[in-house]
Chain A
Amino acid sequence: MSFHLGKPILVMLFIAVIAGAVALNRPNQKKADLTLWVFADSHYKTYEKLVPTFQERTGLSVNLNLVSGQAMDLRMSSLFMTNPTSEQLPEVVEIEIGWVGKYFRPPVDEIGLIPLNDMLKESGWYDKIIRSRFAPWTKDDIIFGIPHDVHPVTLTYRDDLYLEAGIDLSTVKTWPELHEACLKFEKHWRGRGFRERHAIEASTGDSGFIQQILLQRHINLVDQHSKVHINDPRVTQTVAFYAQMVAGPRAVGGVSSGAAGAPLSKDLNDGNLCAFMTPDWRISIIKRYADQVGGKMRMMPLPKFDPTDSATSTWGGSMMGITKACKHPKDAFKLIEFLYLSEEGLAMRQQSTDIIPPLMSVWDQPVYQQPDPFFGGQKGQAMFIDLARQIPERYTTPASTIAGMSLTFVLTQAVNYVQDHGPAGLEAECQKMLDVAARDLERRVAHWKVD
């Protein structure tokens, strides 16, 4: 048999016909009563075990999907911008704290999520969940999500290596004291030939550390009313302090070589990085990768600058919201209640992660008071719960991402200044740079206003 266009074209035509026929005859998937999109693998694994029980109890079918965070964020953004009631949206969605700012750009009645104030109050959860944790998911007093977590931050450290250097880190109460302790630590270990051993994980190019301290000091770079605080004198003090911690003659910070995997494991087990800002979600990562140093680690509340500062900060977070595409919001709310707040949901979370729930009513349960052998018998979860009560409010706005970028830009300039000129005059220089950043942000916020 011959085909005048050649065999490759014939094969391609054959494949096209077969593929077309299969695609046309594919049976339609039955749409579940509720579709839930989740971006975190660990959350998905927890919910996977809970969903059958929920289906059995309520008779509602649930389609649980694990979607890549980036893909989900882009999809949600485009659908919220064009058609928030589109059938392509899931009924329930788990959203990461870094994404939500841009979803809050429209006026509240045009946001793609359903307000939850009434349902939360009617069900009684509003009084049981720690109030400050609603802040990231709220715009103009309207709550759009039920918080999954609190994520208080502690300082975890290699107690054995600090003690060997003659330092009891648990006695440190302020950031400047911590800096001095770190300097002493590095001097001790450098003198013994440990060039790669660093007192604390901190990088020259990441303003995340500074933002943790700023939240501790009750400063959001941009607050819930879109007011810019990036040039607050306390921000200046913190940036100047941090720049000296990571650059110049008094530098003590070491850069992490990876967020997970073999490099992190080596850094932890070899003692290359000896102290970390650690929210509750990071505990399980540290335990997994620092398997050889169990019992040698300790945790403590964060040092402070001022007595009015909180002893903790908050890092990361997620929530579940109901989209406007949902035809039965009460059923969707039941699903969220079951996964996040029910006894079964909390027990399953306790088994698989160290993340404490935002539900104050369960914080006194004995399960959160167990000593943790990894931290030398310290009651780790009890400490997180104690800190969770002091959690600062964190707001998310469309300007939050750009504000973070601006702060990183200023940090970079501050680091260059310390490296080139030393610490003299640094704070005044930082104030100048932050004033410029503030004007830029204010201009941007004004430009975004459409009303």
Chain B
Amino acid sequence: MNRDRLWAWQYRYAPYLFVAPFVILFCCFLLYPLGRSITLSFYKAAGPKHLVFAGFENFRFLLLDRLFWLAVLNTVAFTVAYLVLQIPVSLGLALMLNSKRIWFRNFFRFAFFSPQLVGQVFVAVIFGLLLAPRHGLVNRALGAMIPAIGTETNWFSARMALPAIVLAALWLSVGYGMIYFLAALQSVDRDLYEAAEVDGAGKWMQFWHVTMPGIRPVLTFLVLVGTIGSFQVFELPYVLFRPTVPPTAVTIVMYLFQTGFESGDIGYASAIGWALVLMILIVSLIQLRVTGLLREDAR
């Protein structure tokens, strides 16, 4: 092969070689498992040689599976409660820590963001201790402040499971939302505030007509990411409530895990996984439509 042909060869194929590692990894660890899980969702699996085509039977079973719908209900309840609290609290914190009147702003920013660094499992372990009956810090504080409640609130019971997960999830993620809002707040044009002030707008009017439109893309992003994350929540309740998970704490992914890895029904677990994908897709599309981002993108 002469030198010119070698150069021509490398000119043509070098880009493929550069992208090959990504493409190979993507195909092996994402595309193939995804494709395989679609196939599996149409099969009943009971061992290495027992794979029986079942058509839509797994999906039909899912439609009438009350434990699955309980998990969906729990997940939706968690998502709503979490977003309704997380977004305003994150925004409030960001507004506070964006103010020059607050001392040690950087320290507080780091302090509020730091739970995000340790992850869901660690937070679940910590909250397992904080919420323990009688000896947990939360129950001790409740008992001291409101003696009628006492120190024995069972946060791990069916009635209190949702507040317990939401509390832990908020502690974990409020700082994360705050960082995004801070970045958005700092990018809002200062001149707009001055112009609004000249027009006689008060603080509330400035917030509503200047700040909110300025941070709207970030707000939409956080709601979208928060919704997707909440629909996929697993580690937090799984670790927090093990070994006895109350029925009100079973999320869709937990139910998927229990079905696939504790009962060994891989086919049905795959069907649950794809039902979850569909649900997230629908909810995300609705959100994008409601917030008008789809139309803006189209323009």
Which residues of A does B touch, CB under 8 Å? 73-74, 77, 80-84, 98, 101-103, 105-107, 110-111, 195-196, 203-206, 208, 254-255, 257-258, 262-263, 266-267, 272, 398-399, 401-402, 405-406, 408-409, 412, 415-416, 436, 440, 443-444, 447-448, 450
A203 to B274, CA, bound (A): 35
Report Cα–Cα, A107/B49, bound state, in Å.
10
Interface residues of B (CB under 8 A from A): 44-50, 52, 57, 61, 64-67, 70, 129, 132-136, 150-152, 154, 156-159, 161, 244, 246-248, 250, 258-259, 261-266, 268
Contacts of A408 in B (CB 8 A): 244, 246-247
Chain B residue with Cβ nearest A419: B159
Q: Within the complex, which residue of B45, B135, B157 is in contact with A205, where a contact is CB–CB below 8 Å?
A: B157
**Which of B70, B129, B134, B264 lies in contact with A105, CB distance below 8 A?**
B264
The CA of A412 and the CA of B261, in the complex, are separated in Å by: 24
Residue contact A263 to B247, C-beta cutoff 8 Å: no
Instruction: Decide: A263 near B64, CB < 8 A? Known: A196-B151, A408-B247.
Output: no
B158 lies within 8 A of A412 (CB): yes
A-B contact pairs, 9 of them (CB 8 A): A105-B47, A107-B47, A107-B50, A196-B152, A203-B156, A255-B133, A262-B135, A263-B134, A448-B46
Q: For residue A397, which residue of chain B has the nearest CB? A: B263
B156 in contact with A77 (CB, 8 Å): no
B132 and A401 form a contact (CB under 8 A): no
Closest chain B CB from A217 CB (angstroms): 21
Query: Does B244 lie within 8 Å of A399, measured CB to CB?
Result: no
Chain B residues, Cβ within 8 Å of A443: 61, 64
**B70 to A401, Cβ gap below 8 A?**
no
**Closest chain B CB from A121 CB (angstroms):** 26
A447 partner, pick from B61, B152, B161, beta carbons under 8 A = B61
Q: Could you say which of B70, B151, B246, B264 contacts A103, with CB atoms under 8 Å apart?
A: B264
Q: Say yes or no: A77 contacts B246, CB within 8 Å.
A: no
Known: A257-B132, A408-B246, A448-B265. A106 touches B158 (CB 8 A): no
Instruction: Give CA–CA (A112, B133) in the complex, Å.
Output: 42
Shortest CB-to-CB span from A224 to chain B, Å, is: 17
Q: Give Cα A203 to B136, complex, Å.
A: 17
Contact of B262 among A102, A106, A110, A412 (CB under 8 A): A102
Question: B132 contacts A402, CB within 8 Å?
Answer: no
Are A440 and B246 in touch, CB under 8 angstroms?
no
Distance of A86 Cα from B187 Cα, bound (Å): 57
A448 touches B156 (CB 8 A): no
Question: What is the minimal beta-carbon distance from A150 to any residue of chain B, in angstroms?
Answer: 21
Contacting residue for B263 out of A196, A266, A401, CB 8 A: A401
Interface contact tally, CB-CB below 8 A? 134
| B residues in contact with A436, CB < 8 Å | 66
Provide the bound-state CA to CA distance between A410 and B235, in Å: 25
A409 to chain B: closest residue by CB: B247
Task: Tell whether, in the assembled complex, residue A450 and residue B156 are in contact, meaning their CB atoms are under 8 Å apart.
Answer: no
Bound-state CA distance A206–B261 (Å) is 21
* Given A196-B150, A272-B134, A447-B44, 17 further pairs, Cβ under 8 A: A81-B48, A81-B266, A83-B48, A106-B48, A195-B152, A204-B154, A257-B136, A258-B132, A258-B135, A262-B135, A406-B67, A408-B246, A408-B247, A409-B247, A440-B67, A447-B57, A447-B61
A98 contact set on B, CB distance < 8 A: 262
Residues from chain B with Cβ under 8 Å of A440 in the complex:
65-67
Inside 8 A of A415's CB, which chain B residues have their CB?
Answer: 158
A175→B46 CA distance, assembly (Å): 41
Chain B residues with CB under 8 A of A447: 44, 57, 61, 268
Are A405 and B247 in contact (CB-based, < 8 A)? yes
Most chain-B CB neighbours within 10 Å: which of A102, A103, A266?
Answer: A102
Q: A196-B134, A203-B154, A401-B263 are in contact. Are A81 and B246 (CB under 8 A)?
A: no
- A77 near B261 (CB under 8 angstroms)? yes
Of the listed residues B61, B150, B265, the one surrounded by the most CB atoms of chain A closer than 10 A to its CB is B265
Most chain A CB inside 10 Å of its own CB: which residue of B151, B156, B263: B263
Residue of B nearest to A437 (CB): B66
Q: Top 8 A-B pairs ranked by shortest CB distance?
A: A106-B47, A102-B264, A412-B158, A110-B47, A205-B246, A409-B247, A257-B132, A206-B244
Contact A450 B46 (CB under 8 A): yes
**B152–A255 contact, CB under 8 A?**
yes
Beyond A409-B247, A440-B67, whether A401 also contacts B262 by CB under 8 A is: yes
Which residues of chain B come closer than 8 Å to A402, judged between CB atoms?
67, 258-259, 263
Instruction: Assess whether A82 is in contact with B135, with CB atoms less than 8 Å apart.
Output: no
Also in contact, A195 and B150, with CB within 8 A (given A81-B45, A81-B47, A447-B61): yes
B50-A205 in contact (CB<8A): no
The answer to whether A450 touches B52, judged by C-beta atoms less than 8 angstroms apart, is yes
Which A residues are CB-close (under 8 A) to B48? 80-84, 106, 110
Nearest chain A residue, comparing its CB with the CB of B259: A402
Residue of B at shortest CB range from A448? B265
Given the interface pairs A257-B136, A405-B258, A447-B57, the reply to whether A203 lies near B266 with Cβ below 8 Å is no
In the complex, chain B residues whose CB is within 8 Å of the CB of A196: 134, 150-152
Q: Is the CB of B263 within 8 A of A398?
A: yes
- Do residues B156 and A255 form an inter-chain contact, with CB atoms below 8 A? yes
Report how far A101 CA is from B52 CA in the complex, Å: 20
Output the nearest chain A residue to B262 by Cβ-Cβ distance. A401
Residues from chain A with a CB closer than 8 A to the CB of B44 are 447-448, 450
> A142: shortest Cβ distance to chain B, in Å?
14
Name, among A103, A195, A196, A257, the residue most crowded by chain B CB atoms within 10 Å (CB to CB): A257
Check if B263 sits within 8 Å of A101, measured CB to CB: yes
Inter-chain contacts of A80 with B (CB < 8 A):
47-48
Contacts of B247 in A (CB 8 A): 405, 408-409, 412
B157: chain A residues within 8 A (beta carbon): 203-205, 255
Q: Which residue of A lies closest to B153 (CB)?
A: A255
Are B132 and A263 in touch, CB under 8 angstroms? Answer: yes
Return the contact of B134 from the options A101, A267, A412 (Cβ within 8 A).
A267
B261 and A110 form a contact (CB under 8 A): no
Q: Is the CB of B132 within 8 A of A399?
A: no
Given A196-B152, A203-B154, answer yes or no on A412-B246 (Cβ-Cβ < 8 Å). yes
Give every chain B residue within 8 A of A204 (Cβ-Cβ): 154, 157-158
